[in-house]
């Protein structure tokens, strides 16, 4: 897979990591210590570490993107509909749209890697 993993995919994975680092840090810092929101922020940040590891060694860590697809799909399913409708939070709607884009990207990456690996 490493021969088939171009710079574009690596950049995509680094962007996913940065996205999660930024969102996770913001959520964590805005939350009360020990709250569910603080825990969510820490978990979002931790998934950024997973994406960074995958960006560094795509052939080795690609399968862990299944967890990222699942997590992002659940975020989209739970938070997308109420925030994409009128009266929803536009900032949260944009974040969820980003999660949807990354979930689709991860899926495409894994399908291409499987086909070429």
Place of tokens 């536009």: 90
* pLDDT, one tens digit for every residue, the chain (117 residues): 444 578 899 999 999 999 999 999 999 999 999 999 999 999 999 999 999 999 999 989 999 999 999 999 999 999 999 999 999 999 999 999 999 999 999 999 999 887 655
CA-closest candidate to residue 113, choices 74, 53, 47, 57: 57
Asked if residues 63 and 46 have their Cβ atoms less than 8 Å apart, the reply is no
Q: Read off the pTM.
A: 0.90
pLDDT at 117: 55
pLDDT at 3: 42
- Secondary structure (3-state) at 117: coil
For 73-105, b where at least 16 C-beta lie within 10 A, e where not — what string? bebbeebbeebeeeeeeeeebebbebbbebbeb
Centre a 10 Å sphere on the Cβ of residue 4 and count the other Cβ atoms it contains: 13
């Amino acid at each position: 897979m490493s021969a088939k993993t171009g710079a574009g995919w690596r950049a995509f994975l680094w962007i996913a990591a940065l996205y999660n680092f930024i969102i996770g840090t913001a959520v964590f810092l805005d939350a009360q210590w020990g709250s569910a929101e603080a825990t969510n922020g820490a978990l979002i940040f931790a998934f950024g570490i997973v994406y960074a590891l995958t960006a560094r060694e795509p052939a080795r860590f690609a399968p862990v993107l299944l967890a990222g697809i699942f997590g992002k799909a659940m975020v989209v399913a739970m938070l997308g509909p109420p925030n994409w409708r009128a009266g929803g939070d536009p900032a949260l709607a944009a974040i969820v749209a980003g999660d949807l884009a990354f979930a689709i990207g991860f899926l495409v990456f894994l399908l291409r890697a499987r086909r070429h690996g």
